[in-house]
Amino acid sequence: MAGAAALSLHPGPILGIETSCDETSAAVWADGEIRSNVVASQIALHRQWGGVVPEAAARAHVESVVPVLEAALSEAGLSVGDLKGVAVTNRPGLVGALNVGVTAAKTLASFHGLPICAVHHIEGHLLSAFIEHRELPMPTLALVVSGGHTELVLIRAFGRYEVLGETLDDAAGEAFDKSARLLGLVFLGGRAIQVRDTGGSPERYRLPQGLEGDTRNFSFSGLKTAVMRLVDQEGDSLDLTDAAASVQHAIVSVLADRTARTAEDLGVRAVALVGGVAANQALRDRLAMRCARLGAAFSAPAMEYCTDNAAMIAFAGAFRLGRGEDDGREFDVHSNAELPSVTSPASG
């Protein structure tokens, strides 16, 4: 039976560190709120290559991590000596990038005798839905959409997750990026397509929406092929605005509609949209509309908590440290890792 979420959080201050891909971020959780969230983006660096280069990302993290940590503490009005714990992303992600954040976290925790929490990046995204909406009823169905992940996850309770569906090939964010490059738009295709989509006709070009039938999985590889064929066939007559609108419609429709159908099948009372692609306004609007029809609460994080950020890691740390967890200093980084699922104290 659905019930109100019960979330016991460590009061902090807790420093969160995120370096899983191409953002160096640090944030501070204290007294029931995010006190700072500093992000050093590498977008400009990687634009020249049309995608993230792991070695370059790691070097940029090394250059940015100390200034970002100092800025996060400064904005929160705190010093390192005020901290009560550290939380850091250690999986999944680019190994070199993850190592930078984990090394910084372990160094701080060891020098100052602080407990440390190793956070799964996707759990951070899942919990980002609750930073500003802590009364969502349980279970909550979450759609996780980013450049590397597209998953439907049932949050049975805090710390108890069940993956119900996932992409069988490309992630939604990857589909946006690949389609944007085929259309000749700039790096970070999801944002480029959303901007270009303004005023476009989503019905102009019929594009596939992946798997059909009663499934909770997704597939976007066929979309890339269809866009490639469209560009070849239309040539100079291709209307980029309509093409961008058609791509966005194909991706957004299947994400929102499949999530809503799953929510209806399960009878859940709350749906959360999280991850970098959750910043897409068309997706937020369509899923919110579908949830309203179902009578289900809808939650999406503030834009600053959608893309990779340390606020969600600090918040996840507040949850896990609040349970008395301490991962010590011996944990490693992992490029791939299943979402953790632990028994909630409230559920026994």
Q: Flag whether pLDDT at 348 surpasses 70.
A: no
Do 16 and 118 share a domain, yes or no? Answer: yes
What pTM was computed for the model? 0.91
Do 97 and 144 share a domain, yes or no? Answer: no
Do 143 and 290 share a domain, yes or no? Answer: yes
As a whole number, mean pLDDT of residues 313-321 equals 97
Asked if omega into 137 is within 30° of 0 (cis), the reply is no
> What band does 138 get if pLDDT is binned at 50, 70 and 90?
very high
Any domain includes 335:
no
CATH number of the domain where residue 292 is located: 3.30.420.40
pLDDT averaged over the chain? 90
- Identify the weakest region by mean pLDDT among 22-26, 103-107, 184-188: 184-188
Do 150 and 227 share a domain, yes or no? Answer: yes
Paired tokens of 46: 């990687």
Residue 185 DSSP label: P
pLDDT at 342: 42
Residue 184, C-beta contacts closer than 8 angstroms, at least 6 positions apart: 240
Q: How far apart are CA 267 and CA 212, in angstroms?
A: 22
Do 156 and 281 share a domain, yes or no? Answer: yes
Do 155 and 108 share a domain, yes or no? Answer: no
Any domain includes 348:
no
Do 23 and 159 share a domain, yes or no? Answer: no
Q: How far apart are CA 210 and CA 26, in angstroms?
A: 37
Any domain includes 339:
no
Do 310 and 275 share a domain, yes or no? Answer: no
Q: How far apart are CA 126 and CA 322, in angstroms?
A: 17
Do 265 and 143 share a domain, yes or no? Answer: yes
> What band does 190 get if pLDDT is binned at 50, 70 and 90?
low
Give the burial class of 307: count Cβ atoms within 10 A of its Cβ; 0-12 exposed, 13-18 middle, 19 or more buried.
Answer: buried
Q: Flag whether pLDDT at 192 surpasses 80.
A: no
Distances (CA, A) of 279 to 133, 201, 204, 227, 285: 17, 21, 24, 23, 11
Q: Flag whether pLDDT at 189 surpasses 80.
A: no
Is 210:253 a contact under the CB 8 Å cutoff?
no
Percentage, residues of the chain above pLDDT 90: 74
Q: How far apart are CA 67 and CA 81, in angstroms?
A: 17
Q: What sections of the chain are H helices per DSSP? A: 43-47, 54-76, 95-112, 121-128, 172-182, 189-197, 221-234, 240-266, 281-294, 311-322
Q: Flag whether pLDDT at 346 surpasses 60.
A: no
Is 54:21 a contact under the CB 8 Å cutoff?
no
Q: How far apart are CA 18 and CA 87, in angstroms?
A: 9
Do 146 and 252 share a domain, yes or no? Answer: yes
Q: Flag whether pLDDT at 1 surpasses 50.
A: no
Q: Flag whether pLDDT at 124 surpasses 50.
A: yes
Q: Would you list the DSSP string of 124-156?
A: HHHHHTTSS-TT-EESEEEEEESSS-EEEEEEE
Q: Flag whether pLDDT at 198 surpasses 80.
A: no
Paired tokens of 28: 């501070």
Q: Which of 276, 336, 314 minimizes the C-alpha distance to 94?
A: 336
> 């979450």: which residue's tokens?
142
Q: Flag whether pLDDT at 194 surpasses 80.
A: no
Q: Flag whether pLDDT at 4 surpasses 70.
A: no
Please state whether beta strands 85-91 and 116-120 pair in parallel, antiparallel, or not at all (unpaired): parallel
- Backbone phi and psi for residue 113, each to the nearest 5 degrees, phi listed first: 65, 40
Any domain includes 333:
no
Q: What is the pLDDT of residues 31-72, one digit of tens each?
A: 999 999 999 988 878 877 877 899 999 999 999 999 999 999
Any domain includes 89:
yes
Do 150 and 225 share a domain, yes or no? Answer: yes
Q: Domain total for the chain?
A: 2
Give just the sign of the alpha carbon dihedral 71, 77, 79, 85. negative
Q: What is the pLDDT of residues 218-242, one digit of tens each?
A: 999 899 999 999 999 999 999 989 9
Instruction: Measure CA of the first residue to CA of the last residue in the chain; give whole Å.
Output: 15
Q: Which of 102-116, 178-192, 197-211 has the highest mean pLDDT?
A: 102-116
Do 195 and 239 share a domain, yes or no? Answer: yes
Question: Residue 165: which domain range?
Answer: 138-300
Q: What is the pLDDT of residues 242-283, one digit of tens each?
A: 999 999 999 999 999 999 999 999 999 999 999 999 999 999
Residue 207 DSSP label: -
Q: How far apart are CA 271 and CA 257, in angstroms?
A: 12
pLDDT at 50: 72
Any domain includes 332:
no
Any domain includes 196:
yes
Any domain includes 331:
no
> What band does 203 get if pLDDT is binned at 50, 70 and 90?
confident
